[in-house]
């Protein structure tokens, strides 16, 4: 009876995602929605995000996506309300942040902080989740290795939807 389980895991590892196109929506809107959906499958280290506690998204960038994200402030992700903290200034403290939207600059890793970027993994900017547009569709890459270093995990169910997963 465990054979089906193994098979399913296998399938999961093999399949790659090409996210469906969302017509009539701009790439930025779609990116924001995908980010929120992805966050539902992210696991933060024990104690850093307790039940009912707001999920803080810190914006280190003030690009289009950052602006778009601000409009999602207050939306529920699992049991957490989304709290979007706009850019307070370069070098501002990232204390209390769960997610950080990186800008062009490299951001140092910090425990329990999910770094989100908009460039491909190959850019080596240190993003653990990259939101990209490919053939008019929003896709995402995941750097499992980097995420594991800061104690963040991705649900296996999500991984099969990623375009590219960097493994340890």
Closest distance to another protein from the beta carbon of 116 (Å): 17
Cα torsion through 159, 100, 121, 68, rounded to 10: 90
What is the rounded distance in angstroms from the CA atom of residue 2 to the CA atom of residue 139? Answer: 32
Which listed residue (57, 128, 158, 165) binds another protein by CB under 8 A?
A: 158
If one asks whether residue 157 binds another protein (CB under 8 A), the answer comes out as: yes
Nearer to another protein, 80 or 85 (CB): 80
Q: Residue holding tokens 């779609």?
A: 30
Cα torsion through 110, 114, 116, 120, rounded to 10: 80
Nearer to another protein, 42 or 65 (CB): 42
Q: Residue 89: which residues within 8 A CB-CB, separation 6 or more?
A: none
> For residue 96, how many other CB atoms are within 10 A of its CB?
14
If one asks whether residue 79 binds another protein (CB under 8 A), the answer comes out as: yes
Q: Residue holding tokens 């995402």?
A: 140
Closest distance to another protein from the beta carbon of 161 (Å): 5
Q: Judged by CB under 8 A, how many residues of this single chain contact another protein?
A: 23
- Considering only residues 2 through 41, tell me which ones interact with another protein, judged by CB under 8 A: 3-5, 7-8, 11-12, 15, 17, 19-20, 34, 37, 40-41
Q: Are 147 and 166 in contact (CB under 8 A)?
A: no
Of the candidates 155, 159, 166, which has an alpha carbon nearest to the alpha carbon of residue 43?
155
Nearer to another protein, 71 or 79 (CB): 79
Interacting residue ranges for another protein, rule: CB under 8 A: 1, 3-5, 7-8, 11-12, 15, 17, 19-20, 34, 37, 40-41, 78-79, 155, 157-158, 160-161
């Amino acid at each position: 009876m465990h054979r089906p389980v193994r098979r399913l895991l296998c399938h999961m590892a093999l399949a790659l995602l090409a996210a469906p196109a969302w017509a009539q929506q701009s790439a930025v809107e779609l990116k924001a929605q995908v980010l929120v959906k992805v966050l539902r499958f992210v696991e933060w280290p024990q104690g850093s995000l307790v039940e009912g506690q707001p999920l803080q998204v810190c914006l280190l960038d003030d690009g289009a996506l950052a602006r778009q994200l601000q409009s999602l402030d207050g939306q529920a992700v699992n049991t957490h309300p989304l709290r979007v903290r706009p850019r307070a200034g370069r070098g501002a403290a990232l204390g209390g942040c769960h997610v950080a939207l990186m800008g062009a600059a490299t951001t140092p890793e910090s425990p329990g902080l999910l770094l989100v970027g908009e460039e491909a993994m190959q850019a080596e900017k240190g993003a653990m989740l990259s939101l990209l547009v490919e053939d008019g569709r929003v896709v995402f890459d995941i750097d499992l290795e980097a995420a594991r270093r800061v104690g963040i995990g991705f649900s296996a169910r999500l991984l099969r939807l990623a375009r590219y997963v960097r493994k340890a």
